[in-house]
Amino acid sequence: MSSAISPNFIIDLTLYILLAFSVATWTLIFYKIWQFYNNNRCNQRFETAFWKLRNLKQINSLALDEIDGSQARLAHEGIAWLNDRKQSEGIIKYSGNASELLEQTLKVKLQQEQHAMESGVTILASIGSTAPFVGLFGTVLGIMNAMHNISTSGSTSLDVVAGPIGDALVATAIGIAVAVPAVLAYNFLLRRIKMQRMQLENFVISFLIMAEPILKEQD
């Protein structure tokens, strides 16, 4: 007959889970901060160069590998669509209102960029919501185990009771300590994502306005 799993093993397991949560949280926080910083820096460089162009046809002079931000990828996606439409007349893919088709293409690319920036953020939300419960689970098991040991020893003195219960409460404290930075980072990154989407939407509008002369030429 197999022996039951030790309560101490389960308590230690919850602490290791919380440790893994903490490592994942701080890894995601540093990575996402770097991702946002790098993207904003590239967007600023691209905007400076982009608005100095005489027309959209010169955009290919901006090397994408040198200015690899979300706005640069949006612009190159739009230019690629315009070039393909010019060389692929009569194809059903490009039939219809050219402005609306170009807008739809840019919106799809915008959604892809937003999805890339959102990746990993939901993990922070999940850690922030589950870490306190994992810690509480470890605390409950720890208190149950402490009560069992106290009843076995037959002593109810404060020294005997306070120590094990205090150790059990550490799991809850660790769970809260893991959850707080995850929740704060999630709220911060969520705001940054919304701000970036607004910037990209404004850029799409500007791009569509600048693309009107090219669309008229093609028509």
Q: What is the DSSP string of 68-109?
A: -SHHHHHHHHHHHHHHHHHHSTT-GGG-S-HHHHHHHHHHHH
Question: Does residue 37 sit within a domain?
Answer: yes
Question: Does residue 214 sit within a domain?
Answer: yes
pTM metric for this prediction = 0.78
Cα–Cα distance, 169 to 192 (Å, whole number) = 36
- Give me the domain span that covers residue 106: 26-52+71-85+98-138+179-218
Residue 66, helix vs strand vs coil = coil
Question: Does residue 172 sit within a domain?
Answer: no
Read off the pLDDT of residues 147-194 as tens digits, 9 standing for 90 and up.
777 777 666 666 656 666 777 788 889 999 999 999 999 999 999 999
The end-to-end CA distance of the chain, in Å, is: 82
Question: Does residue 14 sit within a domain?
Answer: no
Residue with the two structure tokens 């959604």: 111
Read off the pLDDT of residues 4-19 as tens digits, 9 standing for 90 and up.
566 677 778 888 999 9
Question: Does residue 90 sit within a domain?
Answer: no
Angle at CA of residue 218, ends 54 and 75, nearest 5°: 45
Question: Does residue 144 sit within a domain?
Answer: no
Question: Does residue 113 sit within a domain?
Answer: yes
Question: Does residue 157 sit within a domain?
Answer: no
How many domains does the chain fold into?
1
